[in-house]
Amino acid sequence: MLRFAKHARYVLSENPVTAGAFLFFTLLILLAVFGPWIAPHDPLATNASNALQAPTWAHPFGTDHLGRDVFSRVIVATRLDLGIAVSAVALSFVIGSALGCSAGFWGGWTDRIVGRVSDTIMAFPLFVLAMGVVAALGNSVENIIYATAVINLPFYARVARNETSLRREAGFVLAARISGGSDARILATQVFPNILPPMMVQISLNMGWAILNAAGLSFIGLGVRPPAAEWGIMVAEGATYIVSGEWWLALFPGAALMLAVFCFNLMGDGLRDLVDPSRRT
């Protein structure tokens, strides 16, 4: 653990941009965990007398058409959006990695079946496929997670399959097989740790895509239902008021969405360096 901490400190000190991305990610985690207690106002409390107020000291991000504090809603929405993204990416990562590693290690019919399933999913426009899944199952948070996991599944399956097929005849794998290790043990202890670096980059990218996907579904009315605080809903509600001059309704939740996606895109290289065994020497 101490060695990994030293390696992490070295990686972050060598790349200030990545260090900044990790700091912002830490801020997102803190907002997701403590957001309901940090928010200065109740994100669901309405007050018609305060409707559509511009940003002030009392309401830094202004108020919406129902008098709700936009700042509080942006903070509280972090938990929902980040929770959807983490759950969907974790689900697709676990299933996709298992399928991809199996296809790359054993080949044959396993490889063909996994490849055809991935090709079938990738044949659809991914956001349209997510829309179809949510429309068929219902627009609940659980179904948004399932839909996002389905459209991200081929990315992990393909990366894991390609990386595993390159390493299944490597010297360390042959040595593990000669020493009596089973295929499952070799995959878990020898192959999988060595394919994690490109997988971590994919995780970072997919986190941003998952947040955008959840916000996009909410924007068109197929995602989280109002009055829940969610960035996509807030942008959709604020878009109708831009022409009348209430710019803050869409600007601040849209900026939070943009910064979160930007943060995850910048974290990819740092995550790769942290888990790459060859960089710990």
144-162 pLDDT per residue, tens: 999 999 999 999 999 999 8
Listed in sequence order, the residues at least 6 apart from 212 whose beta carbon sits closer than 8 Å to its beta carbon are 257, 261
Q: Which of 48-52, 64-68, 154-158, 193-197 has the lowest mean pLDDT?
A: 193-197
Contact 191, 173 (CB under 8 A): yes
Which residues touch 230 (CB under 8 Å, ≥6 apart)? 77, 80, 81, 214, 215, 218, 223, 224
Mean pLDDT of 106-126: 88
Q: Check residue 253 and give its pLDDT.
A: 93
Beta strand ranges found along the chain (DSSP E): none
Instruction: Return the exposure string of 162-197: e unless at least 16 CB atoms fall within 10 Å of the residue's CB, then b.
Output: ebbbebbeeeebeebeeeebeeeebbeebbbebbbb
- Mean pLDDT (the chain, rounded): 85
Q: Please report the sign of the dihedral spanned by the C-alpha atoms of residue 35, residue 37, residue 43, residue 47.
A: negative
CATH number for the domain formed by residue range(s) 2-280 = 1.10.3720.10
Q: What is the pLDDT of residue 202?
A: 85
Distance CA 205, CA 197 (A): 13
Percent of the chain with pLDDT over 70: 90
The pLDDT score that the predictor gives to residue 68 is: 92
